[in-house]
């Protein structure tokens, strides 16, 4: 018994030793910052002067801050359009690519490539394509005889332009949907076809239910990621015109690193955290209605 005990103690010691980098990191780079962030959110702190405790003032100020509401609206608009559209396009491409035709490997590569382009580089490229005078997009739209929108200069259109840009990366999700599609047993489709089920019927009765865990995961990841949209608007529009692309995290960044309102920015960060948690929670609740785990 004594020997067994000492062996277990040794294993535990080794375990702690091996896990220690993570433990130290957890305390230094996660737990301590979380505690500090909560504290700062109740303070006024501009780095130069020592922080001043202000209680709930930052949170109260948020609700009266017009830019807070604008940035929240812009972000919701972006999330609600970009996430579903990216998913639909990704899935559509995946279904087209889930076939045995010549050159399929090349097609997959071509669709996937844009999603690995660094966001900074993509932003510079798209800013040029959106250029009001020489941008290629205007020329393409006009080539088809359509009136070109004001892309980034029109407050009513700027968000849509950035959403359009986000769709360029839909190939990233495509790879994951494709893997999910390959997991669906072929016999299901064969049986359905024998029963006379059409393409649409097969899609809604076989493909969608069996792919629903993958779709659900992509939805959660997509929402969390899109709520944090930053680089595109920081690089391309700076939040303009008329704050129409002032996204939540851009506003948070401005407060922290342009206005040095560290306390206010911390309060913004916690509100974002709550919003993301609520959305994730709602999605988990809703998922019971449409996500099927019986397969895979």
Partner 1 sequence: MASLDLSNRQADKTIRYSAKGFRAGWSSAVQHAVLLAGSIIFVFPLLWLVSTSLKSELQVFKVPPELIPKPFEWSNYVDMWTYFPFFQFLENTMIIVVLSMAGVLVTAPLVGYAFARLRWPGRDLSFMLLLATMMLPSQVTMIPLYLLFNQLGWVNTFLPLWVPAWFGGGAFNVFLIRQFLMSIPRDLEESAFIDGGGYATIYVRIMLPLIQPVIMTIAIFQFMGAWNDFVGPLIYLNDQSKFTLSLGLRVFQQQTGNSQGEIGMMMAATTIMIIPVIAFFFLAQKKFIEGVVLTGIKA
Determine which residue in the list 54, 87, 125, 141 makes contact with partner 1, applying CB under 8 A. 125
Judged by CB under 8 A, how many residues of this single chain contact partner 1?
Answer: 102
Asked if residue 127 binds partner 1 (CB under 8 A), the reply is yes
CB of 242 to partner 1, least distance (A): 20
Give how far Cα 30 sits from Cα of 22, 26, 35, 260, Å.
10, 5, 9, 22
For partner 1, the closer of residues 38 and 156 by Cβ is 38
Binding pattern for the stretch 188-227 against partner 1, x by CB under 8 A and - elsewhere? -xx--x-----x--------------x--xx--x--x--x
Asked if residue 25 binds partner 1 (CB under 8 A), the reply is yes
Angle, alpha carbons 145-147-153 (nearest 5°): 145
Positions in 151-180 near partner 1 (CB under 8 A)? 168, 171-172, 175-176, 178-180
Positions in 245-264 near partner 1 (CB under 8 A)? 249, 252, 256-257, 262
Positions in 64-83 near partner 1 (CB under 8 A)? none
Question: 100: which DSSP letter?
Answer: -
- How many Cα atoms sit within 13 Å of 69 on the Cβ side? 6
Asked if residue 282 binds partner 1 (CB under 8 A), the reply is no
Determine which residue in the list 105, 145, 196, 288 makes contact with partner 1, applying CB under 8 A. 105
CA-to-CA distance for 245 and 165, rounded, in angstroms?
13
CA-to-CA distance for 173 and 89, rounded, in angstroms?
9
Determine which residue in the list 85, 148, 197, 272 makes contact with partner 1, applying CB under 8 A. 272
CA-to-CA distance for 87 and 85, rounded, in angstroms?
5
Segment near partner 1 (CB under 8 A), from 58-66, 146-154, 229-237, 287-295? 229-237
Place of tokens 């990841």: 221
Give how far Cα 262 sits from Cα of 23, 35, 65, 95, 268, Å.
27, 14, 16, 47, 10
Determine which residue in the list 126, 151, 157, 247 makes contact with partner 1, applying CB under 8 A. 126
Strands (DSSP E) along the chain, which ranges?
43-44, 52-53
For partner 1, the closer of residues 266 and 287 by Cβ is 266
Asked if residue 182 binds partner 1 (CB under 8 A), the reply is yes
CB of 219 to partner 1, least distance (A): 12
- How many residues appear in the chain? 296
Strands 43-44 and 52-53: antiparallel
Question: 254: which DSSP letter?
Answer: I
Determine which residue in the list 62, 70, 72, 93 makes contact with partner 1, applying CB under 8 A. 93
Asked if residue 6 binds partner 1 (CB under 8 A), the reply is no
CB of 215 to partner 1, least distance (A): 11
Please list, residue by residue across 66-102, b when 16 or more beta carbons sit within 10 angstroms of its beta carbon and e when fewer do.
Answer: eebebbbebbbbbbebbbeebbebbbebbbebeeeee
Asked if residue 46 binds partner 1 (CB under 8 A), the reply is no
């Amino acid at each position: 018994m004594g020997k067994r005990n000492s062996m277990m103690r040794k294993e535990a010691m080794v375990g702690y030793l091996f896990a220690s980098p993570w433990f130290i990191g957890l305390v230094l780079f996660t737990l301590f910052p979380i505690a500090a962030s909560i504290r700062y959110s109740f303070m006024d702190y501009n780095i130069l002067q020592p922080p001043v405790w202000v209680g709930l003032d930052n949170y109260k100020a948020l609700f009266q801050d017009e830019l807070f509401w604008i940035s929240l609206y812009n972000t919701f608009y972006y999330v609600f359009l970009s996430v579903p559209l990216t998913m639909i396009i990704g899935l559509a491409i995946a279904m087209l690519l889930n076939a045995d035709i010549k050159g399929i490997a090349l097609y997959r590569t071509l669709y996937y490539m844009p999603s690995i382009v660094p966001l900074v580089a993509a932003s510079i490229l798209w800013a040029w394509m959106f250029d009001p005078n020489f941008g290629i997009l205007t020329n393409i739209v006009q080539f088809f005889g359509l009136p070109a929108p004001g892309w980034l200069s029109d407050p009513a259109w700027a968000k849509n332009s950035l959403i359009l840009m986000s769709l360029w990366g839909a190939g990233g999700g495509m790879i994951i949907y494709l893997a999910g599609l390959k997991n669906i047993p072929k016999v299901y489709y064969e049986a359905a076809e024998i029963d006379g089920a059409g393409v649409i019927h097969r899609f809604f009765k076989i493909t969608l239910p069996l792919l629903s865990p993958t779709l659900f995961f992509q939805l959660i990841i997509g929402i969390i990621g899109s709520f944090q949209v930053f680089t595109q608007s920081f690089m391309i529009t700076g939040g303009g015109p008329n704050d129409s692309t002032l996204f939540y995290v851009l506003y948070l960044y401005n407060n922290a690193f342009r206005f040095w309102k560290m306390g206010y920015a911390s309060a913004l960060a916690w509100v974002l955290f709550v919003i993301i948690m609520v959305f994730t929670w709602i999605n988990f609740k809703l998922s019971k209605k449409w996500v099927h785990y019986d397969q895979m």
